[in-house]
Structure 1
Amino acid sequence: MKLRYFLFVILLGYGNLFAAQVDTITVFSEKMQKDIKTVIVSPSNASKAKFPTLYLLHGHGGNHASYLKQVNDLERLVDRYQFLVVCPDGGFDSWYWDTESDSKFQYETFVSKELVDHINANYPVYDAPHYRAISGFSMGGHGALYLAIRHQDIFGVVGSTAGGVDIRPFPDNWGMAKRLGKIAENHDKWEKHTVINLLHLIDSKSLKIFIDCGRNDFFYDVNNKLHEKLTYLNIAHHYHLMPGQHNWEYASKSLNYQFAFFEEAFRGVENHE
C-alpha cells in the first residue's frame, strides 16, 4: 500500500510539473487611460522557441478570468497544442467596440492594437497574422469575428463559439444600446457594428474562419444565417453544429474543436514556409 501511494504521489507531481503556466498581468491602455487585467496561459513543456498566439474573448458579464475558471481543460489544451493563450478583460458589456460616447470603452483599439503590441514585445510569439488567432464565446464570439474581419493585417485565424453574430434581433439585450444608442434612432450605427454585415470585407485567402453553435442556443438562428451568407458569398469557412445550449459546458467542448482547427491553420503556414 505504501508503494502504491508513493507511485500515486509521483504521478500526481509529474502531472502538475507539466501543467501550463498561468499569470495575471495588467496592460495599460493609452487610449482608455486605465489598466486592463489579462490572463496569460503559457505552455510549460515548451517545444518551440516561439509560439502562435490565441486571444480568447469572454462573453457578456464575464472578465479576464472567465475562461480560466470555466474551462477545466484550458491548461491541458495549451500544453498539448503549444499556443500562448491571452484572455483580456473586455469589460462587462463592451462588445469589443470602440464606443464613440465613452472614452473608457475603446476595446477594439485595446485588443487589436495595444494588447497585441504588448504581447509581441514581452512574450516569445510570432509577430505575423497567420500565427495569430482570435476567438471567443457569446459576446466574445461576436468580438472575435468583428475584430478579425476589420483587422486582417493583425489576425489571420478566427473562431466564434455561439457568437452574437447578428446583433439586430436583440436591440434591448446585453447593454448594446448603451454602446450604440437605441436602434430606432441609430439604425446605421447598428448596421455597421454587426458581424453579418461585414462579410464583404473578408479576404478568404488570408482569414481562416471557424464558427460553431449549439443546436439549442438562442444564437442558433443568427449563426445559421451567417453560415448561409458566407456560403452564398463563396467565403471559405468551417461551420460546426453540436447539441448544446448557451453555457460554459458547450463552450468548453467547443474549444477542443477550435484548438484542433487553429493548429491545422498554423501547421499549414509552416508547411509552406
Structure 2
Amino acid sequence: MVFRKVYKPIHTESIQEDKVREMLIASANYAYLFSSKEDDMIDLSHAKIITTVGTPKRKRRLDNLTPDEKLLRKKLKNREAAQTSRDKKKAYINDLEVTVKKLREQNALLQKRVKILAREKEELQMKNEKLEKEIGQISQSHVITSEPAVLISAPLPRDLPVLHATVLSILLLITCQPKIALWIWTISIGLIMLQTHLILQNWKKLLILCQKKLPNWRLKCRRMKNWWGRFQKSWNPPMLFHL
C-alpha cells in the first residue's frame, strides 16, 4: 500500500509566500507518489488517501488538488472498480462451471437411464409380438379342430393302432403351445399305457379261458373221431349231440 505524505502549510505573514509554499508542498507530494516502483504503481488499487479525522458527511470539493493529482485519483478509482468487477466476474464464472459440471453429470445419468429403458421397451415389444403370434396360432388350431366335429364325434373302431395316437400327439406338439403340447403328450402316454394294460389283462383272461376250455375241447374231438371213422356210410350231424 502506498501512502502519501501530507505536508501542512506553515502560516506566514505574506500571502505570496503562502501560495509559493502550497505549490511546493503539492509538487513534493506529486513527486513522492511517482517516486515509487512500477509494482507499487500497478497495485495502486489498494492505496488509500489519508484524510483528516472528522471528515464531513457531505462530499468535499477537491479544489486543493492539481489536475495531475485529480487525474491520478480518477485512475485509481477506475482501477479499483475494474478489479472488483473482475473479481465478481471470476466468482460468477466459477459458479457457472460448478453448475455446468453438475448438469453434465445429471445428463450422463439420464442418458444411461434412457438407454436402459429403451432396451427394456424393445424386449417387451418382442415378448408382446411373440405372445400375439402364439395366441393367433392357438386360435387357428381351435378353429381347425372345431370344424370337423361331425367326423370326430363318430365312434372310432376298437382295433385302432397305437401308431395313430402317437402321430396325433406329435402333430399336437408341433402345432400347439409347448405347455399345452406337453400336457396333451402326458395324457396321450397315459392313455396308451392304460390301453396296453387292458390288452394284456384281456390276453391273460383269454389264456385262462383257453386253458379251462381245452380239456372239454379235447374230449369233444375224441368223440367226433370215434363217431366219424372210415367205415361211416352217411353224414349224420345230429348224432354228434347225442354222443
Please, what TM-score do these two structures have when normalized by structure 2? 0.19
Q: Which has the higher helix share?
A: 2
* Structure ID, larger Rg: 2
